[in-house]
Chains A and B, each alone.
Chain A
């Protein structure tokens, strides 16, 4: 499966770290977005995106609102969503899961954790289909 990632984070450093980590895992195809609103525009512009990696805390549209927007859209609700955030409170994680994230990573993370979660999501997607 050819994966094209949408990396959503308002921090340039974090976007670069996520993209470097993806590159170290041999995932070279990606698009960047600076917040939820930008992410929705990028999704419209790049219909071949199939995997969204998003932060939670962002100006404008937050990552959580982006997840809700994607899940309520017929066009995009099939997308895999991984949330990478500093938010580790129980209620945050439950809210994110209820909103429709496929998996959840706490910052700071390592590429091995990123790989593990991407694999888990892809495996569960394969099982579904």
Chain B
């Protein structure tokens, strides 16, 4: 009988423990529920972050390439400008030499000498004019590099926009502000400063074929020849 009472006491003790656990769990469940809700809300945000990082990572090499293109284009044009300036210097020196010769001429036939030298000076001036035109043409690089830079700006703005939308989710809207968007129509992302002679020939063939029907195969072959 005494044994039975002892067992019952132990049972009641265990039941009290179990009750305490239930009471504790009752308090714990809302906390766990909040934790689950928080994790559930965090998942789209994490996915958004992941997508943004992937997009950003994909765009950065393109941006880097565009900047390389700008460097190459300006370097090529600068070399052309310097080559032309060298040619202009040669012509100016030649013209100066002719003028010096006339000034120091001791010949009796000065008039003939002057005519000959003036013809030579005239020739040099024509060349100088041509070289000056070449300098102007090389300055087309300005238009091409400005398109390349606009393409880089566009990429950077799209990265900024993605990051902005991400920070918007984090309720920090300041970062989503972009004051001026680059119009995608103002640039050609493939713009290059290069010798276009071969490419122009292909275009010429296309233009000529435009007057007579050309198959897609023929057009593709033209571009493969490049």
**A, B in one complex:** yes
Give A contacts to B, CB under 8 Å: 9-11, 13-14, 16-17, 20-21, 24, 56-60, 62, 85-90, 93-94, 97, 103-111, 113, 124
Cross-chain contact B203 with A106 (CB below 8 angstroms): yes
Which residues on B sit within 8 Å (CB–CB) of A110? 137
Cross-chain contact B206 with A94 (CB below 8 angstroms): yes
Cross-chain contact A88 with B203 (CB below 8 angstroms): yes
Which of A11, A56, A60 is close to B188, meaning CB atoms less than 8 Å apart?
A56
Which residues on B sit within 8 Å (CB–CB) of A60? 185
User: A-B pairs with CB below 8 Å: how many?
Assistant: 93
Cross-chain contact B203 with A17 (CB below 8 angstroms): no
Which residues on A sit within 8 Å (CB–CB) of B133? 20, 24, 111
CA distance A56 to B147 in the complex (A): 12
Which of B137, B187, B188, B210 is close to A108, meaning CB atoms less than 8 Å apart?
B137
Cross-chain contact A107 with B207 (CB below 8 angstroms): no
Interchain residue pairs with CB less than 8 A apart (17): A11-B142, A17-B140, A56-B188, A57-B186, A62-B185, A87-B191, A90-B220, A94-B206, A97-B210, A104-B206, A104-B207, A106-B199, A108-B193, A108-B196, A109-B196, A110-B137, A111-B133
Interface residues on B, range: 20 to 34
Closest Cβ–Cβ distance, residue B154 to chain A (whole Å): 12
CA distance A102 to B186 in the complex (A): 22
Cross-chain contact B190 with A11 (CB below 8 angstroms): no
Which residues on B sit within 8 Å (CB–CB) of A103? 207
CA distance A82 to B211 in the complex (A): 15
Q: Is B123's beta carbon under 8 Å from chain A?
A: no
Q: Which residue of B lies closest to A16 (CB)?
A: B136
| Binary interface encoding of chain B residues 132-163 relative to chain A, with 1 for a CB under 8 A from any of its CBs, else 0 | 01001111111110110000000000000000
Closest Cβ–Cβ distance, residue B73 to chain A (whole Å): 10
A-B CB proximity, top 4 nearest: A86-B191, A108-B140, A106-B196, A11-B143
